[in-house]
Chains A and B, each alone.
Chain A
Amino acid sequence: MTEYFLHIAIISGLYIILALSLNLIIGYCGQVSLGHAAFYGLGAYTSALITIHWQVSFFLALPVAAVVAALFGLGLGIPTLRLKDDYLAIVTLGFGVIVDLILLNLDVTGGPDGLARIPPPRLGGIDFRDKVWYLLLVALVVAFTLGLISRLVHSRHGRALKAIRDHEITARVMGINASAYKISIFTLAAGLAGLAGSLYAHYITFINPESFGLHTSILVLTMVVLGGMGSILGSVVGAGVLTILPELFRRFADYQDLAYGAMLIALLIWRPQGLLGSGKISRKFSLAKNRAKKER
């Protein structure tokens, strides 16, 4: 039983990293990524492949996975985030489909069977097959992510990002390069998703493309909206709730996606600030409402 709770805690930790990073994109780029699971998958496959084929240590593979995912994020962000229109959602949706296609078709990724026997991390005498140690490892990365994001949000760059979020044109007038900021944030978020992917691969030790599809991207998006768009604590809570709830309602597993879809619409209509949204984002949305009318 303890094993089971540890497992849930570890999985929650991974989703917290994913939700936090997606929340960065939503809260600070004002756009949605539907390819977050693809970055997660890229991280998982990168880390798995280099540890299997080159016997690289997990502790080196983890940052490499993050960098690879971040580079893909940069490649997608540059053509998409320079533009005024909201193309990111559909471009990342397409990216997710392509990554899926490539993982299924390449020999090196094992096609639909995926990769098995991914080595669990080892450090000195510590064996991370013990779930307690793995949970500690995940908790460290979650803490790192939380620290990084809260430092970022409260720094000079964080203030620039808020200025862009609240009124992009004014921010540009003040000399803030909005596109560069958005692309950097998107790249960072992709890298964090890669980090989570690596942790997932070495925990489960078996991966296939199924775990990194649109379903997972939508799940993470629902976590962010449920917790509150733009709220750091909200993403943590949203990820926790949506990891634990499906475990309690195993019998209704077939209805999961249906519930997420309905939940997204219902939340946006009745509680757009989510469970823990401080109202900042909802105020932002009402600000944007007046602005949209004026600009039209």
Chain B
Amino acid sequence: MLLQQILNGLTAGSVYALIALGYTMIYGILGLINFAQGELYMAGAFATVLLLTAYKVNFFVAFFFGMGVAAVLGVILERIAFRPLRGGHPLVPLISAIGASIFLQSLALLLFGPADRSFPIQFEFAALEIAGVSVSTLQLAIFGAALFFMALLVAFVKYTKFGKAIMATALDQDTARLMGINVDRMIAITFFIGSALSGAAGIMMAIYYNTTYPRMGLLPGLKAFSAAVLGGVGNIPGAIVGGLLLGVAENLGAGYLSSGYKDAVAFAILIIVLLVRPKGLLGGRSH
């Protein structure tokens, strides 16, 4: 039972971690909580579902299409809603992000309607039995894919020129500019990557829960933010650890306390972290 809950938690947690990475990278570079992160998650899921409904394309093509749509939307968002406001009081881009979030959410509601959509492809997933715990291959696939994307991101940031330039921009924009780094481009790339990861997370959850709807991004967005704070905002390994821990905590809370208040666990964790250790488990950077 305990192992089962932990396993289910790790699956959801790996998806939270993907969204949390987007939050943390954007916070790291701009000091901005991107409220529209949950809407990019929703956009990725919708793009994939709609493409698969309309055309019989390969699943992986649709998956990368969804990620691409989320990524491009993220870059457009940065260009329209954040770049003109950069350098002002932090309150201003924050309110702009809230505006963007509600705009995208109601746009999706108008375009696609409020109804749940099921995922157009039915996968044949086997249930495995490992040490008395049942695991579906779907869970393993989600967990594996999430880990793959995380590894890719960490490698990108650590070992490529662009990744190092992003880190430099996050540390000190002016100095980065003096070193010949195109700061605007680094911010755009950060949005591109963070949004693509959120889009991937949205597609995985659309398959896992078999629903896609305009408000699907609100709760995962909130939970992923809690995960980012838990790990330490601005800290990439922190977002991964925070996401996994939060997923597990949420499932244990639902299993042993009350399933009705499952969604409240993330919020309780957020408040406790802010009270006890505001810089997060692995230590974040304050802006």
CB distance from B213 to the nearest CB of A (A): 15
Range class of the B interface residue count? 35 or more
How far is it, in angstroms, between the C-alpha of A33 and the C-alpha of B86 when the chains are bound?
Answer: 21
A264 and B98 contacting across the interface, CB-CB below 8 Å: yes
Which one of A261, A284, A296 lies within 8 Å of B102 (CB-CB)? A261
Contact with B along A65-85 (1 / 0, CB 8 A): 000000000001011100111
Chain A residue contacts of B88, Cβ below 8 A? 272, 285-286, 288-289, 292
CB distance from B168 to the nearest CB of A (A): 13
Chain B residue contacts of A264, Cβ below 8 A? 95-96, 98-99, 102
Chain A residue contacts of B92, Cβ below 8 A? 268, 272, 285
Contact A262/B89 with A89-B33, A89-B35 known, Cβ cut-off 8 Å = no
How far is it, in angstroms, between the C-alpha of A31 and the C-alpha of B89 when the chains are bound?
Answer: 10
Chain B residue contacts of A269, Cβ below 8 A? 84-85, 96
A101 and B286 contacting across the interface, CB-CB below 8 Å: no
Q: Chain A: which residue is nearest B92 at the CB level?
A: A268
B105 within 8 A of A: yes
B271 and A91 contacting across the interface, CB-CB below 8 Å: yes
Range class of the A interface residue count? 35 or more
CB distance from A155 to the nearest CB of B (A): 24
How far is it, in angstroms, between the C-alpha of A257 and the C-alpha of B79 when the chains are bound?
Answer: 22
Contact A30/B91 with A97-B267, A254-B110 known, Cβ cut-off 8 Å = yes
How far is it, in angstroms, between the C-alpha of A90 and the C-alpha of B91 when the chains are bound?
Answer: 13
How far is it, in angstroms, between the C-alpha of A267 and the C-alpha of B243 when the chains are bound?
Answer: 35
A296 and B91 contacting across the interface, CB-CB below 8 Å: no
CB distance from A227 to the nearest CB of B (A): 13
B103 within 8 A of A: yes
B174 within 8 A of A: yes
Q: Chain B: which residue is nearest A263 at the CB level?
A: B99
Chain B residue contacts of A79, Cβ below 8 A? 271, 274-275
A94 and B222 contacting across the interface, CB-CB below 8 Å: yes
Contact A296/B99 with A31-B91, A91-B270, A265-B80 known, Cβ cut-off 8 Å = no
How far is it, in angstroms, between the C-alpha of A284 and the C-alpha of B81 when the chains are bound?
Answer: 20
How far is it, in angstroms, between the C-alpha of A84 and the C-alpha of B31 when the chains are bound?
Answer: 12
How far is it, in angstroms, between the C-alpha of A218 and the C-alpha of B97 when the chains are bound?
Answer: 12
A262 and B99 contacting across the interface, CB-CB below 8 Å: yes
Report which residue of B88, B102, B106, B271 has the largest number of chain A beta carbons within 10 angstroms of its beta carbon: B102
Total A-B residue pairs with C-beta atoms closer than 8 Å? 139
A101 and B264 contacting across the interface, CB-CB below 8 Å: yes
How far is it, in angstroms, between the C-alpha of A213 and the C-alpha of B86 when the chains are bound?
Answer: 30
A26 within 8 A of B: yes
How far is it, in angstroms, between the C-alpha of A295 and the C-alpha of B20 when the chains are bound?
Answer: 26
A241 within 8 A of B: no
How far is it, in angstroms, between the C-alpha of A229 and the C-alpha of B89 when the chains are bound?
Answer: 12
A255 within 8 A of B: yes
Which one of B98, B261, B271 lies within 8 Å of A89 (CB-CB)? B98
Contact with B along A45-89 (1 / 0, CB 8 A): 000000000000000000000000000000010111001111101
CB distance from A93 to the nearest CB of B (A): 6
Chain A residue contacts of B85, Cβ below 8 A? 268-269
B229 within 8 A of A: yes
B286 and A84 contacting across the interface, CB-CB below 8 Å: yes
Which one of B103, B267, B275 lies within 8 Å of A262 (CB-CB)? B103
Chain B residue contacts of A229, Cβ below 8 A? 91
A225 within 8 A of B: yes
A265 and B103 contacting across the interface, CB-CB below 8 Å: yes
A89 and B102 contacting across the interface, CB-CB below 8 Å: no
How far is it, in angstroms, between the C-alpha of A257 and the C-alpha of B226 when the chains are bound?
Answer: 26
Chain A residue contacts of B218, Cβ below 8 A? 97, 214
B219 within 8 A of A: yes
How far is it, in angstroms, between the C-alpha of A87 and the C-alpha of B88 when the chains are bound?
Answer: 18
A268 and B270 contacting across the interface, CB-CB below 8 Å: no
A34 within 8 A of B: yes
Chain B residue contacts of A257, Cβ below 8 A? 102-103, 105-106, 109
B206 within 8 A of A: no
- Contacts of B28-71 to chain A: CB distance below 8 A: 33, 35
CB distance from A101 to the nearest CB of B (A): 6
B98 and A34 contacting across the interface, CB-CB below 8 Å: yes
A105 within 8 A of B: yes
Which one of B84, B100, B274 lies within 8 Å of A261 (CB-CB)? B100
Q: Chain A: which residue is nearest B84 at the CB level?
A: A269
Q: Chain B: which residue is nearest A260 at the CB level?
A: B102
Report which residue of B87, B96, B99, B110 has the largest number of chain A beta carbons within 10 angstroms of its beta carbon: B99
- Contacts of B104-148 to chain A: CB distance below 8 A: 104-107, 109-110
A89 and B94 contacting across the interface, CB-CB below 8 Å: yes
How far is it, in angstroms, between the C-alpha of A34 and the C-alpha of B233 when the chains are bound?
Answer: 20
Q: Chain B: which residue is nearest A91 at the CB level?
A: B270
Which one of B96, B105, B233, B260 lies within 8 Å of A265 (CB-CB)? B96
A34-B98, A91-B274, A98-B264 are known; give 7 further A-B pairs, CB within 8 A.
A94-B222, A101-B261, A101-B264, A268-B92, A268-B96, A269-B96, A296-B173
The 8 closest A-B pairs by CB, nearest first: A261-B103, A264-B99, A257-B106, A261-B102, A288-B89, A94-B267, A285-B89, A79-B275
Q: List 5 A-B contacts (CB under 8 A).
A: A31-B91, A76-B271, A221-B95, A264-B98, A285-B89
